[in-house]
Amino acid sequence: MAVEHPIILHHFPQSPFSEKIRLVFGLKKIAWTSVEIARIMPRPDLMPMTGGYRRTPVMQIGADIYCDTQCIMRELERRFPEPTLFPQACRGLASASAMWTDKAFFQSTVNLVFGALADKVPQEFIADREKLRGAKFDVAAMASAIPQMRDLFRANVQWIEAQLADGRRWMCGDEISLCDINAYMNIWYVRSSLPMILDQVLAEFPATKGWETRMRGIGHGTSTEMSTAAALEIGTRATPTTAELADINDPNGRKPGDQVQVMPDDYGKIGVRGEIVALSSQHIAIRRHDPIAGEMVVHFPRVGFLVLPV
Ligand SMILES: N[C@@H](CCC(=O)N[C@@H](CS)C(=O)NCC(=O)O)C(=O)O
């Protein structure tokens, strides 16, 4: 008989990318399991399952591991289609919005937050992120760039306001979509760290202020806590359930069985190696055999990732 595995989110409370997923649990009324991971490496119970992918969050269902919020959203939508994150009016744009919200918009947000909190950022955190990026994590430079970051943050928030200006409830109309979840991540992050700055910015954006309240009201659904060790135990005992799927239009002729490595295309380019199980224009799943976790299938989105032959 097939075993029902819990939907586990490996995350930490301050993580804005994790907040997107917590909100989707709230929106779709999903019962989930919360595994709180360390903000910095090492994460010895998680790495055997991801094969080295180290960004946060990661979703685990048995021995299937979903990396990156794009990929997690897609899988949650497949399993829990109602209410949809992808209404037809903005089906493509809902996904594409992450390339705005997670990149340019997020850069203004994260630099603003770390610039304003420069004195409080622990040295171990700075060292961890420098190792990940292979570049200086310069909180002093971020502090001196606060005026420019406030300009950029405000300009990005104005785009939300412009979208809501006709009185609609959600960015794409009457139905909530992934556009709302993606954009809200940045508002949530500044709200959690710099509430006074956010109030100043939102003073000129009343529609965004109302939308923020609606977004916050979605909540996080119901969750139960689990330790990292218990999650690894589940991953180790379970068998991946991903079915083989070929993509006849793959532009590089890749197919199930090919050995590849997959890595983010911006920084922290740690390649996860494995054999292709399933692929499409938006998704690749690879099978790995880990000395600790055993057989795992690790899923990635395509945009923002490189797939290289091994
Ligand atoms: N594209 C990724 C980005 C995730 C991301 O950058 N998360 C932050 C934490 S909120 C992170 O992992 N930072 C570096 C680290 O923790 O190793 C996604 O959508 O999931």
Ligand 1 atom index nearest CA of 41: 17
Which whole number is the average pLDDT over 41-55?
Answer: 97
Domain 7-83+223-309 fold is Glutaredoxin (3.40.30)
List Cα–Cα distances, 306 to 23, 50, 122, 271, 301, in angstroms: 28, 16, 32, 9, 10
How far apart, in whole angstroms, are the C-alpha atoms of residue 168 and residue 190? 24
* 273-301 confidence digits (pLDDT tens): 999 999 999 999 999 999 999 999 999 99
Which whole number is the average pLDDT over 212-222?
Answer: 98
Ligand 1 atom index nearest CA of 264: 1
Which whole number is the average pLDDT over 241-267?
Answer: 97
Q: Is the pLDDT of residue 3 over 80?
A: no
Q: How far is the CA of 206 from the centre of ligand 1 (A)?
A: 30
Q: How far is the CA of 2 from the centre of ligand 1 (A)?
A: 32
What letter represents residue 238's amino acid?
Answer: A
For residue 29, what pLDDT is reported?
98
Structure confidence at residue 35 as a pLDDT band (50, 70, 90): very high
Q: Is the pLDDT of residue 1 over 60?
A: no
Report how far Cα 297 is from the mean position of its chain's Cα atoms. 18
Q: How far is the CA of 178 from the centre of ligand 1 (A)?
A: 18
Domain ranges of the chain: 7-83+223-309, 88-217
Q: Is the pLDDT of residue 2 over 80?
A: no
Q: Is the pLDDT of residue 262 over 90?
A: yes
Class for domain 88-217, per CATH? mainly alpha
Q: How far is the CA of 167 from the centre of ligand 1 (A)?
A: 33
Q: Six-digit token pair at 292?
A: 């600790």
Mutation probe of ligand 1 site: the residue of 10, 15, 17, 70 with most atoms within 8 A of C-beta: 17
Strands annotated E in the chain:
7-11, 31-36, 58-61, 64-67, 222-226, 259-264, 272-280, 283-290, 294-301, 305-309
Contact 50, 298 (CB under 8 A): yes
Ligand 1, CB within 6 Å, residue ranges = 15-17, 54-56, 68-70, 102, 132, 304
Measured in degrees and rounded to the nearest 5, phi and psi for residue 11 equal -160, 180
* 220-238 confidence digits (pLDDT tens): 999 999 999 999 999 999 9
Q: What percent of the chain has pLDDT over 70?
A: 99
Question: Nearest CA to 52 among 309, 261, 229?
Answer: 261
Measured in degrees and rounded to the nearest 5, phi and psi for residue 232 equal -65, -40
Q: How far is the CA of 17 from the centre of ligand 1 (A)?
A: 6
Question: Nearest CA to 181 among 67, 301, 29, 24?
Answer: 24
Q: Tokens 């070929």 identify what position? A: 246
Residues pairing with 285 in the sheet: 278, 299
- Claim: this prediction has a pTM higher than 0.85: yes
For residue 250, what pLDDT is reported?
98
